[in-house]
Amino acid sequence: MSNLELNLSQFSPVMQTPLQHFNLSAKQEKMTDAKGVWAHEMALLGYIHLRGNAQNKDFLTAVKKATGVDLPTAACSISVASAITMLNLSPDEWMLICPREQRAGLQKKLEAALTGIHSQVLDSSGGYTSVWLQGKQATDALQHCTVYNLHALTPNKVVGTTFGKASVIIYRLDNGFCLVLRRSFADYIWRYLARAAAPYGLGIAAL
């Protein structure tokens, strides 16, 4: 066996979050009012991009059949059910976020249900991560990072916007914000967010 073959046989790939070097899990704690901003990475989720015609009833029915979730068709809307979050990114584009172990099965179900229907299903899990943000001053801290008026981002709404010199997708639920960001921007965005939140007190939330 050659040295190359030997090295390959010993190769054992490890899946890591893009923020693993911050060791956030070791710093997490129970949330209290002592800090104004709480954040943590929602690591290693599944991300599937879906494209299609929202005016096509067959398309809507097929997506519902495959996922069990109604596709959000209103601009900037989201749907959440069965551990799946669907984000309306544009009139013909959605992002589906799910537990990573479900992504392959979900993709296969979508592809099967959408056979013969003009559409596109793409697993983009390798390119994204998410950061959860909440707390009494979370909106204030986040507002330092973007030009978008976050007070206008009501629960169950999503927007794509700037974040410093990068870009993020932000959606809001009743108890906080979720930032969906590209892995290549993760280090920059986390450092930027931590700096913006520092005056309010930043804690790593135990999710």
Quick: pLDDT tens for 115-144: 999 999 999 999 999 999 999 999 999 999
Q: Which domain holds residue 76?
A: 46-125
Between CA 20 and CA 163 the distance in angstroms is 21
User: Is pLDDT at 11 greater than 70 in this prediction?
Assistant: no
Q: Evaluate whether residue 53 is within a structural domain.
A: yes
Q: State pLDDT tens for residues 62-74.
A: 999 999 999 999 9
User: Is pLDDT at 8 greater than 80 in this prediction?
Assistant: no
Shared-domain flag, residues 36 and 75: no
Number of domains in the chain: 2
Shared-domain flag, residues 98 and 78: yes
Give pTM, 2 decimals.
0.91
Q: State pLDDT tens for residues 19-75.
A: 999 999 999 999 999 999 999 999 999 999 999 999 999 999 999 999 999 999 999
User: Is pLDDT at 190 greater than 90 in this prediction?
Assistant: yes
